[in-house]
Amino acid sequence: MTRDAFIPVNEPLLNGNEKKYLNECIDTGGISSEGPFVAKFEQSMAAIAGRRHGIAVCNGTAALEAAVAALELEPGDEILMPAFTIISCAAAIIRRGCVPVLIDSDPITWNMDVTQVAEKITGRTKAIMAVHIYGLPVDMDPVLEIAAKHGLMIIEDAAEMHGQSYKGRPCGSFGDISTFSFYPNKLISTGEGGMILTNDDKLAERCRSLRNLCFQKKRFVHEELGFNFRMTNVQAALGLAQLERIYEFTARKRTMGAMYTELLSGVAGLELPPARTRYAENIYWVYGLVLKDEVLADAEEIMFRLGQKNIGTRPFFWPMHKQPVLNKLGLFVGERYPTAERLSARGFYIPSGLGLTDEQITLSAERVKEVINECLC
C-alpha cells in the first residue's frame, strides 16, 4: 500500500471457503432459493443466537418488513423506536399502517435512551423496536422489563451485531422476533441478504410464508399478499463461509477498535466510542467519531477533508424526525431529539472493514489527527 492510495470505509474479507462454496453452487446448478446452503445458513445463524428458527431473506430491510408484518398489528398501532437509526426501521412500521414513536439517543452508546421509553407508552403502543447501533447493544434489561409490564412485543434489530452479546447472551436472542443484515459492510456478508430469528413456531411459519408470496398448499392460489424476499443459494453460500469465522472476525474487530482508540486517544475535539459498558464489550462494527464543540466544522466538512487525503468515511444516520419524506407524511413535525440531532451533525465513521490492515488503520488515524488539528478553535 502506498501512502497516497485511497483507503475505503469498508472492504470485506473473503478469503475463507467462499470460493469453494460458490463453485459448488455453480457446479451443481444450485443458485436459486431452493439450494441447500440456504437451510444450512439459517440453521447456523439460529444456533449461534440460540434460536429455534432462522428465516433467510434477500436483505436486512426485507427482514424488518417481514418481521413487522408477521406480528399482525392493526393500523394505527404504535411501535416505539429510536430516532437515530436507518430509515428501514421506520419504513417497515409505516408500510404496515402502524405509527412509529421516537426515542432519543443515549449520548455515550448512541443507542436509544431506555430511560425515556416508559414515558412514550400509550394505550395504542403494541411493540418496542430495539435497534443496536454501531458496536454496542441497547441496554436490554429495562426494555424487557417494560415490555413484560405492558404486554408489549419486542422487535430486535441486530443488523450490526453479528457475534455481539448483552450480559453474555447473544444479540438476536432478545426479541419476540429479531433481524439481521448481511450487507457488504457487516461482519457476515452475503452481498445483500438478511435473516429473521425467532423461537415462536407460528411467527416462523408466517415469516416463511410472507417471504415466499404467501403461497398456499395449492400453488398460485393466495389468501394474502406476501413478498418475494427469498435469499438465493449463492448468497447463503457466501454467508455460511463467513459465519464459519464469526469469532475470528469479532476478535479482529475488537483489535482494530482498540488500535484506533490508542492512536486517537488524547486528540482534542474528538469523542471516541467507549470500549465497554457494564453490560457489553464494544464490537466496533464501525469505528465512529463524534466532534466536540471546539471543532469548527461539522462532520460533512471533516469527511470532505479526509476524502481529499484519500480516507474513506461515511456519515452517521440522519434522524427520523428530520427525514423530509417522513415529514411530508405528517410524522414528527415539530419534534426535537437533541442527542440524535447532535450525533447526525457531528458524527461519522472512518475505515472499519475487516479487510483493513494495521498499516491502513495507522494511516487513517494519522490523517484524522491532521484534519481535526486544522479545524480546532
Question: Does residue 3 register a pLDDT over 80?
Answer: no
The residue whose grid cell reads 470532505 is 304
Is residue 1 pLDDT above 70, yes or no? no
pLDDT of residue 219: 85
Contact 120, 104 (CB under 8 A): no
pLDDT above 70 covers a percentage of the chain that reads: 99
Q: Residue 65 pLDDT more than 90?
A: yes
Cα separation, 369 vs 372, whole angstroms: 5
Local confidence band at 62 (pLDDT 50, 70, 90 cut-offs)? very high
pLDDT at residue number 261: 98
pLDDT at 134: 97
Q: Is the pLDDT of residue 278 over 80?
A: yes
7-61 residue pLDDT tens: 999 999 999 999 999 999 999 999 999 999 999 999 999 999 999 999 999 999 9
pLDDT of residue 216: 82
Average pLDDT of the segment spanning 346-363: 97
Please give the Cα distance from 17 to 23 (Å, whole number): 10
Per-residue pLDDT for 160 more than 90? yes
- Band of residue 377 on the pLDDT scale cut at 50, 70, 90: confident
Rounded CA-CA distance 241/44 in Å is: 11
Which positions ≥6 away from 69 have C-beta within 8 Å? Answer: 92, 96, 210
Q: What is the CA radius of gyration of the chain?
A: 21
CA-closest candidate to residue 64, choices 52, 81, 78: 81
Give the per-residue pLDDT at 258: 98
Map residue 180 onto helix, strand or coil.
strand
pLDDT for residue 218? 82
Instruction: Give the model confidence (pLDDT) of 106-129 as tens digits.
Output: 999 999 999 999 999 999 999 999
Phi/psi-derived region of residue 40, left when phi > 0, alpha when psi is between -120 and 50, beta in every other case = alpha
Number of Cβ within 10 Å of residue 331's Cβ equals: 18
Please give the model's pTM, rounded to 2 decimal places.
Answer: 0.96
Name the maximum alpha-carbon separation found in the chain. Answer: 70
What the chain holds in terms of domains, given with CATH numbers, is: 18-243 (3.40.640.10), 246-374 (3.90.1150.10)
Find out whether 357 and 7 touch, Cβ atoms under 8 Å. no
Query: Which tens digit of pLDDT belongs to each residue from 209-235?
Result: 999 999 987 889 898 999 999 999 999
Q: Which residues contact 266 (CB under 8 A, 6 or more apart)?
A: none
Numbers of helices and strands, H then E, in the chain: 12, 13
